[in-house]
């Protein structure tokens, strides 16, 4: 993962030719695009894990829901932040009510709702199932939100030509580092999810024998 991250980052930051229009700012897209596309996968992931929690009562699935929510919030926040930094140069402003940004923002709010529901419910079993249910409802909702926001956006800004697709790098010297960064971020996501789940398992099983033995080593 680190290898990919290092290669991707250096390539993207140092060797990719500057975009003739956007200059150096373009380079943040190498972080933004992978992070943003991954952050879209959180709700489906949580909904699947939530269904497993509700139907089969598998504790591991609940742990995934639990650790994915804050992770997803971070990813979404990072995507929003990198997007708005990129926006400063491209659009001339930190924030515009672009369709993608708006639906990401709403997804961020929904994730915050799940996190705060989890922290408010004392009983861990009830919290697990409530959050699982909310993840499923949220996942359906995120899809509806996405479509309705796009629709709202196209009607409100019929003349806009900006959008990220047109600005995406197109030659191989652009997309190879992007691909590497994509793999790197995906690996980063997987590793952090696994590490966080491991922590969660250790915390929940803190009274069991194997954890005690592990601590003593």
SS3 55: helix
Cα separation, 131 vs 61, whole angstroms: 11
Binding mask 3-32 for another protein (x = CB under 8 A): ------------------------------
Length of the chain: 217
Q: Please report whether residue 97 would count as binding another protein according to CB under 8 A.
A: no
CB neighbour burial string for 42-56, b if at least 16 within 10 angstroms, e if fewer: bbebbbbbbbbbbee
CA distance 51 to 36: 24
Our finding on whether 145 is near another protein (CB under 8 A) is: yes
Give the one residue of 68, 134, 178, 185 binding another protein; rule: CB under 8 A: 134
# binding residues, another protein (CB under 8 A): 33
- Closest separation in Å from C-beta 51 to another protein: 12
CA distances from 74 to 17, 38, 174, 189, 213 (A): 30, 11, 26, 11, 33
Closer by beta carbon to another protein, 131 or else 185: 131
Instruction: Closer to another protein by CB, 95 or 152: give it.
Output: 152
Closest contact distance (angstroms) between CB of 130 and another protein is 5
Which residues are bridge partners to 23 per DSSP? 19
Q: Does 63 bind another protein (CB under 8 A)?
A: no
Contact positions with another protein (CB under 8 A) in 101-120: 106-107, 109-110, 112-113, 116-117, 120
Q: How would you label 165-175 residue by residue, b for 16+ Cβ within 10 Å and e otherwise?
A: eeeebeeeebe
Q: Which segment (14-22, 26-34, 135-143, 174-182) binds another protein by CB under 8 A?
A: 135-143
Extract the tokens encoding 10.
Answer: 């250096």
Strand partners, 19: 23
Residue pair 145/106 in contact (Cβ under 8 Å)? The answer is yes
Judged by phi (left if over 0) then psi (alpha if -120 to 50, else beta), residue 17 lies in: beta
Q: Which of 2, 60, 88, 126 binds another protein (CB under 8 A)?
A: 126
Of 3, 6, 24, 151, the one binding another protein (CB under 8 A) is 151
Residue 124 contacts another protein per CB under 8 A? yes
Read off the tokens for 109.
């709010």
Q: Which residues bind another protein (CB under 8 A)?
A: 54, 106-107, 109-110, 112-113, 116-117, 120-121, 123-126, 129-130, 133-134, 136-138, 140-141, 144-145, 147-149, 151-152, 155, 207
């Amino acid at each position: 993962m680190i290898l990919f991250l290092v290669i991707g980052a250096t390539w993207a930051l140092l060797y990719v030719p500057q975009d003739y229009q956007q200059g150096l700012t373009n380079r943040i897209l190498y972080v933004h695009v992978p992070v943003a596309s991954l952050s879209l996968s959180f709700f489906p992931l949580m909904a699947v894990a939530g269904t497993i929690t509700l139907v089969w009562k598998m504790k591991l699935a609940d742990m995934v829901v639990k650790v994915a929510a804050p992770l997803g919030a971070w990813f979404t926040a990072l995507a929003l932040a990198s997007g708005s930094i990129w926006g400063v140069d491209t659009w001339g402003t930190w924030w515009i009510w672009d369709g993608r940004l708006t639906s990401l923002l709403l997804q961020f709010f929904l994730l915050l709702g799940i996190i705060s529901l989890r922290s408010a419910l004392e009983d861990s079993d009830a919290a697990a199932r409530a959050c699982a249910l909310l993840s499923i409802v949220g996942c359906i909702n995120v899809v509806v939100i996405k479509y309705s926001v796009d629709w709202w956006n196209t009607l409100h800004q019929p003349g806009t030509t900006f959008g990220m697709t047109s600005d995406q790098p197109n030659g191989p010297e652009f997309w190879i580092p992007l691909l590497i960064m994509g793999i790197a971020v995906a690996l980063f996501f997987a590793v952090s999810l696994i590490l966080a789940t491991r922590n969660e398992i250790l915390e929940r099983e803190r009274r069991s024998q194997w954890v005690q033995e592990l601590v003593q080593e």
